[in-house]
Structure 1
Amino acid sequence: MHIQQYLKEIGRGKDGARALSRAQACELLGWILDGQALPLQVGAFCLAMRIKGETAQEMAGFMDAVHARLPLTASAATPVIILPSYNGARRLPVLTPLLALSLVRQGLPVLLHGCTTESTRITAAQVLEHMGYPTALAVQTPQPGQLLHLHTRSLLPGLADLLDARAAIGLRNPAHSLVKHLNPLAASGTQSLVVGCYTHPEYRLSMEQTHAEAGSHALLLRGMEGEPVADPRRQPALRGIIQGRKVLELQAETGAVPVTPELPNGLDVAATATWTREVLQGQRPVPAPIATQVQAICDLHRQLAALPAPQGAQA
């Protein structure tokens, strides 16, 4: 079909719109990522999908389109932890750098990717750069005990453009959900664990359905202001997904922690970086929910490492 025909299928309103198959969704988003759609068509796609909502098959097809356009990297001998970071600090400081560096201290390879469409927010990348971890210019496969973080535009410019469309339209589009499932190493066939977060409980089910359709590995939690890190003030439920099918209840939601931890003084980069260093150096305690999350990721990593090597690229 041509792009106009796809737009007719998805653009008939909440009750009249039809869902695309996985292959159709892959083809449609592929045209958009490759710059083959007119700006008006991109806007129509964003609005139509916002009204209709994405199905698990469509999200898996969108991931197929992105993964097919990722640069080929060397396959890793051990599973890589993927941290999508796209919200940043709003009311609370961004603590994703603490999660990333805590995992690195456990000897795990970590790849953090992200950006923000709101210039007022402090990002995990800004904090990491302040701590001496420069942003990578191209996708690489991190080694055990290594952190790699990169901007989405270095990963796939067309995807970054679609995220930026929010500034012109004023609404989220499928790219904002897609990046929270995204595995930048999919083309290499590397076993990867995506740490996915949701802000509302109903989104957990749709994320699980998407990972089931794609056959991917994930840890899901209600993150801190949309970041893939546990809120240090309360213990969220942690659910592991292996090959899209096996769902593990790793931690039940227990509510507020007995003692509220002291967080960084303010949202700025320097204060967050200083606080993160103090926690890593043992001058401050690791917030219990984040310590529990680190342990859950390490447990899942061991399970993935025991799986047979994948035959092809992982979705």
Structure 2
Amino acid sequence: MSHAFRELLKKVGSGPHTSENLTRPEAAEALRAMLLQEAKPAQIGAFLIAHRIKRPTGEELAGMLDTYEALGPKLLPLSRRYHTAILGSPYDGRSRTAPISPLTALILACCEVPVILHGGERMPTKYGVPLLEVWQGLGVEWGDLSLAQVQQVLEATGVGFVYLPQHFPVAHAFVEYRDQIGKRPPIATMELMWCPYAGDKHLFAGYVHPPTENMFKTCLELRGMEQFTTVKGLEGSCDLSRDRTAIIGCYVPEIQDFERILLHPRDYELAGADVPFHSTPELIDQMRAVLQAEAGELLKSAIWNGGFYLWRSQVCPDLESGLAHAERLIVSGQVRDKLVQLATQVESQRLNYSAHP
């Protein structure tokens, strides 16, 4: 296999004039060989750097997603009124701005929109705060649960989290290479589009650089994804900023293109500075203040994001009603109660495992 992989490496690593893009099957095979360690370590490192320099194509990312779908875990379909929302966030976390997606997930779950997030531990190259650590601070310990237990929590509460070290160990073992090469490899872009769910879904994928959105579009079209929204979000996440105009791409299958939406927070009296991230304990205190409906910048960010996602998930007919509904859910204590329910369900699963390992 290392000899076969060398041929794929030669295609992407031959320099700016003679390198070639991989076909979708070739990209799928390349990632499979790397994940299963059939390629040699030197080959893996060389491929990741060469592929980063060449830049991935949407077709290559589609092939890599094919491999993730073949080797990775999948939560089973739910019978719900709304499609399950998949919130894609960079695996190397956040270091400058407070993450909002856990609050967004709780808001959506209050309205029967199931939400699945995924990620791992602190990860190169940023080593920012991962979502798992945020959930832990809120009293939700996902790390010990089997995939079957996550499925039960998802069915009971509407929130699920796929944790790489526990549920996709071959992908987690690949993290070491990210540290060794010191650069974010193209598979980090692919992970933003991964949907570890077998049912109907609506993918929300964040990005920083505009060319990434075009790669999303090509990749997801090739894979037949019809429900997806792109967000030029905070640090590449799908969290909307309140400090600038939100650039949203809503894919329209009929025209096979994006409907571009520009949202100005000032038009909804929600403009302001994005909340900086200083430490996890401070972030958790800020989130708990939001759950108590205490006035503050993070509360406004939660309403801005919650309202947007309620609208895009078809719970509310427009953004204005989405914002109003998100605020009601927080002020009434329903979002706080959803967190209590979630923490209770997760702890129950952990205790069941301890009693019957």
Query: Where on the TM-score scale, by shorter chain, does this alignment land: which range?
Result: 0.7 to 0.9
Moved more, 126-135 or 226-235: 226-235
What amino acid does structure 2 have at the position aligned with 1:126?
A: E
Equivalent runs, 1:226-265 vs 2, <5 Å: 226-241=236-251, 246-247=256-257, 249=259, 251-254=261-264, 260-261=271-272
User: In the alignment, which residue of structure 2 is the partner of 1:45?
Assistant: 47
How far apart, CA to CA, are the structure 1 residues paired with 2:231 and 2:139? 28
Where in structure 1 are there 5+ consecutive unaligned residues?
Answer: 303-315
Q: CA deviation at 1:138?
A: 3.2
1:138 lines up with 2:146 in the alignment:
yes
Specify whether residues 244 and 66 from structure 1 end up closer, same or farther in structure 2 by C-alpha distance, changes over 3 A only: farther
What amino acid does structure 2 have at the position aligned with 1:106?
A: C
User: In the alignment, which residue of structure 2 is the partner of 1:313?
Assistant: none
Where in structure 2 are there 5+ consecutive unaligned residues?
Answer: 318-357
What amino acid does structure 2 have at the position aligned with 1:11?
A: G
User: In the alignment, which residue of structure 2 is the partner of 1:309?
Assistant: none
Q: CA deviation at 1:88?
A: 2.5
Q: CA deviation at 1:177?
A: 0.8
Specify whether residues 286 and 68 from structure 1 end up closer, same or farther in structure 2 by C-alpha distance, changes over 3 A only: same
Identical aligned residues as a percent: 22
**Residue 205 of structure 1 is aligned with which of 203, 214, 221?**
214
Equivalent runs, 1:55-204 vs 2, <5 Å: 55-78=57-80, 79-85=83-89, 86-115=91-120, 116-118=122-124, 120-136=127-143, 137-139=145-147, 140-141=150-151, 142-143=154-155, 145-185=157-197, 188=198, 190-204=199-213
Pick the structure with more helix per residue: 2
Q: CA deviation at 1:114?
A: 1.2
Q: CA deviation at 1:259?
A: 5.1
Q: CA deviation at 1:266?
A: 4.9
Specify whether residues 265 and 207 from structure 1 end up closer, same or farther in structure 2 by C-alpha distance, changes over 3 A only: closer
1:220 lines up with 2:230 in the alignment:
yes
How far apart, CA to CA, are the structure 1 residues paired with 2:132 and 2:249? 26
What amino acid does structure 1 have at the position aligned with 2:54?
A: K
Moved more, 97-106 or 293-302: 293-302
Moved more, 147-156 or 280-289: 280-289
1:269 lines up with 2:275 in the alignment:
no
Size of the aligned set, in residue pairs, is: 299
What's the secondary structure of 2:241's corresponding residue?
Answer: coil
Aligned-CA RMSD value = 2.8
Specify whether residues 166 and 250 from structure 1 end up closer, same or farther in structure 2 by C-alpha distance, changes over 3 A only: same
Q: Which has the larger radius of gyration?
A: 2
How far apart, CA to CA, are the structure 2 residues paired with 1:240 and 1:295? 14
TM-score normalised to structure 2 length: 0.75
How far apart, CA to CA, are the structure 2 residues paired with 1:92 and 1:236? 16
